[in-house]
């Protein structure tokens, strides 16, 4: 299940999560974001129980987007606690994202 991440719940849902967290920084008007959305949802199902997956709308949550210097969307960041394990900018294929997640879960 893909969870909505906001400026308000980011610390609790991402930084204090017991699981690694994939956060999709996106906006509704972004074409490449819409292309990558099904891939993000697929990863949420595939890694259920091993990885938390969330989406953060950068238009509504500018504080977190600027804190992590998200300049282009989509940006996918895999957090392991407070550490950034991986940052992917731009649309990505399912196999490419899976490989990055697998590396982070080792």
pLDDT in tens, 44-100: 999 999 999 999 999 999 999 999 999 999 999 999 999 999 999 999 999 999 999
Whether 78 and 100 have beta carbons less than 8 Å apart is answered as: yes
**Which residue out of 14, 33, 51, 76 is catalytically annotated?**
33
Residue 49, helix vs strand vs coil:
coil
Active site residue 104: no
The fourth-level CATH superfamily of domain 2-105 is Glutaredoxin (3.40.30.10)
CA angle 31, 4, 27 (to 5 degrees): 20
Pair of tokens at residue 70: 């998200």
Report pTM. Answer: 0.96
Please pick, among 21, 30, 39, 78, the residue that the annotation labels catalytic.
Answer: 30
Summarised one tens digit per residue, pLDDT across range 23-60 is 999 999 999 999 999 999 999 999 999 999 999 999 99
If pLDDT is split at 50, 70 and 90, which confidence band does 106 have? confident
Domains of the chain, residue spans: 2-105
């Amino acid at each position: 299940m893909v969870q909505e991440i906001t400026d308000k719940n980011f610390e609790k849902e991402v930084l204090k999560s017991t699981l690694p967290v994939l956060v999709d920084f996106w906006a509704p008007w972004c074409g490449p974001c819409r292309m990558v959305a099904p891939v993000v949802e697929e990863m949420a199902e595939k890694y259920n129980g091993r990885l938390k997956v969330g989406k953060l709308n950068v238009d509504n949550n500018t504080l977190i987007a600027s804190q992590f210097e998200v300049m282009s969307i989509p940006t996918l960041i895999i957090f392991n606690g407070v550490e950034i394990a991986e940052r992917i900018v731009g649309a990505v294929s399912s196999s490419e994202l899976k490989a990055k997640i697998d590396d982070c879960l080792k």
